Structure 1
């Protein structure tokens, strides 16, 4: 297949009715830590202040992390409540520290996020462009605002903001149109509806309720679902349940998917996303390395296109799976969102 034909197909995919799914791969591309770096950070920074029983459990988990990886270890040996709190705190600490560096560069104009460039080329439906992300960081929200979109996370208020989907939606209303003998029509600003079923660095627990606060707080629990068995994952508490439901509703309504750096390893989303792909909804995947599940989808279902980094005979390029066939395109990195925009959308 010729590269020109591939580019045309990629352009045609970015049409109306699309839901975008963003995984950790996109944040890693911007410099945030991946699972391996997070595992090393946890091993280095957890342990000194633990009680004896928790310390013993952590040592055993640590051995599993070294042999199986972070997620597999925490699934094999669920942490105690104290360990879970320590893991959540350390995870948020590392990600927020790295996130600050990225945001500072965006704010000063030294960096433009990959997603910001991409969003400028996507269709913006009046009802909002849905982005589902399993990431805790705020790069999706920042990318949306930098692309002149509103970022609707379903929270309202700047200090201890409340989860209120309708009030959040109405905050983006910019006018009303009255027509004779017709119902009033509300005019909304273009916005991205950001669904975060694993939580966010700016979600905190206050008096037993979830609240939004964009700043850094000490001594307060952030609401994030860390890898492995987690009390929020088991309980489906708010705001996770609401964001998960909105994400799955959008996935069910979608006519197509754009999947960026996501490995199809989240049990909550997979109850809706994977069946939709199997049912034949067109899907475009961009990632550095396809997970086993993503690769299996690409080879089994002809309406899936998957792009990943590859190297052959010392030449780097893009490996593409299209119509269940594999193609290698040398000296081009259209698996990366930045290069995708440059090569496919801004040729």
Structure 2
């Protein structure tokens, strides 16, 4: 396929009914630690103040992290609630520290997030751009606001925000007009960010979720990998975000999937069947996971791009109509290169 034809096809993909699915690959590209770095951090930073029972269990888990990865280790040995709380605390602190450095660079105007560069090229539906992300960090929300969009996270309030989807929704209404017998509402341009695994600014306070942008001496509401993930996903606020994410996926006309490996049970019950049913899909990632590669190879409605090097020349390897094509010296697999090259 000629590169000009490919560009036109990619431009046309960002049309009506687009849902963005963002995985850890996009955050890693910005500098958020990935699973490997997180696993190493947990091995060295889980506090020594664990109970004897938790300490004994942790002694079984942590040697497996280096061998099988964090999720593999936690799948073999489900942590107790108290050990899981320690893992959540350490995970949140580790990611928040990296996030703070990135946010500082954005605020100092020394960095522009990749997603911020993409947003001007997307259609802005009245209901908002649906963004589904498995990431804990707030870079997607920041990127949207830097691009001039509001962000609907289903929490209402600015300092001690409560989970209230209706209040959050109507907070973006800017005017109401009666046209004949019909009422027309005008909403501010926004993105709807759905986070089924939680967020660094979600906390558990007196039995209810609360959103606060800073650090608190409360339990963060994030779902760690492993056997407890599926159970935790049915608790508030994860259930609301999972339901809204799946609803957006079910209604999508097309997907742009960035840095996501198709390894999450909460999304896969809806996302993969929709893709296999023919929903047009573009996947951008540094390296396709085995599941992502299989989906791209077996479905002609999927166009996938990953980093590849051949004969000392780096570029992008595409899977188009099930066939692999290498384009040297272009970096469309990276969202930055995608925006520069396609638009």
Bucket of the pairwise TM-score, normalised by the shorter protein: over 0.9
Distance in structure 2 (CA, Å) of the matches to 1:184 and 1:43 = 57
**1:99 corresponds to 2:90:** no
Post-superposition CA distance 1:117-145 (Å, at most 9, x none) = 00111111111110000000000110000
| 1:17-70 C-alpha deviation (Å, 9 max, x unpaired) | 011000000000000000000000000101411122211211111121121111
Contact 2:232 / 2:238 at 8 angstroms: preserved in 1? Answer: no
Q: Return closer, same or farther for 1:234/1:157 CA change in 2, 3 Å cut-off.
A: closer
Give the match for residue 16 of structure 1: 16
Q: Which residue of 1 aligns with 2:71?
A: 71
2:282 matched residue in structure 1? 284
Say whether the 8 Å CA contact 1:28–1:34 is kept in structure 2.
Answer: yes
CA contact (8 A) 1:126 1:188 kept: yes
- Measured after TM superposition, the shift of residue 113 of structure 1 is 0.3
Distance, in Å, in 2 between the alignment partners of 1:231 and 1:68 is 17
Deviation at 1:182, TM superposition (A): 2.5
Three-state SS of the structure 1 residue aligned to 2:196 is coil
Stretch of structure 1 that moved more, 20-29 or 154-163: 154-163
After the TM superposition, which residues 169-208 of structure 1 pair with which residues of structure 2 at under 5 Å, given as runs?
A: 169-179=169-179, 181-208=180-207
CA distance in 2, matches of 1:232, 1:270: 12
CA contact (8 A) 2:117 2:339 kept: yes
TM-score (norm 1): 0.97
Residue deviations 1:278-326 (CA, integer Å, cap 9, x gap): 1010000000000100000000000000000001111110000001110
Identify the range of structure 1 (253-262 vs 151-160) with the bigger mean alpha-carbon deviation: 151-160
Aligned match of 1:243: 241
Residue aligning to 1:264: 262
User: 62-71 or 198-207, which moves further after superposition?
Assistant: 62-71
Is the contact made by 2:43 and 2:62 (CA closer than 8 Å) also made in structure 1? yes
* 3-state SS of paired residue (1:321): strand
**Residue-by-residue CA offset, 1:222-265 (whole Å, 9 max, x unaligned):** 00001112277346111000000000001000111000000011
SS of equivalent residue, structure 2 residue 132? strand
Q: Is contact 1:133-1:195 (8 Å) kept?
A: yes
Q: 1:231, 1:140 → 2: CA distance?
A: 22
Partners of 1:47 and 1:58 within 8 A in 2: no
Aligned-pair CA distance for 1:174: 1.1
Q: In structure 2, do the counterparts of structure 1 residues 6 and 226 end up closer, same or farther at CA, with 3 Å as the change threshold?
A: same
Gaps of 5+ in 1: none
Q: CA deviation at 1:160?
A: 2.3
Other structure's SS at 1:284 match: strand
CA contact (8 A) 2:196 2:233 kept: no
Partners of 1:92 and 1:8 lie apart in 2 by 41
How many residues align? The count is 343
SS in 1 for 2:186: strand
**1:40 alignment counterpart:** 40
- Seen in structure 2, the aligned counterparts of structure 1 residues 113 and 235 have a Cα distance that, compared at 3 Å, is closer
Work out whether residues 47 and 55 of structure 1, in 8 Å CA contact, stay in contact via their aligned partners in 2: no
Q: CA RMSD in A?
A: 1.1
Is the aligned partner of 1:300 residue 2:298? Answer: yes
- Cα deviation, residue 192, structure 1: 0.1
User: Please, which runs of 5 or more residues in structure 2 have no aligned partner?
Assistant: none
Give the conservation status (yes or no) of the 8 Å contact 2:88–2:222: yes
CA distance in 2, matches of 1:234, 1:250: 21
- Name the SS for the 1:12 alignment partner: helix
Give the whole-Å Cα distance in 1 for the aligned partners of 2:230 and 2:68. Answer: 24
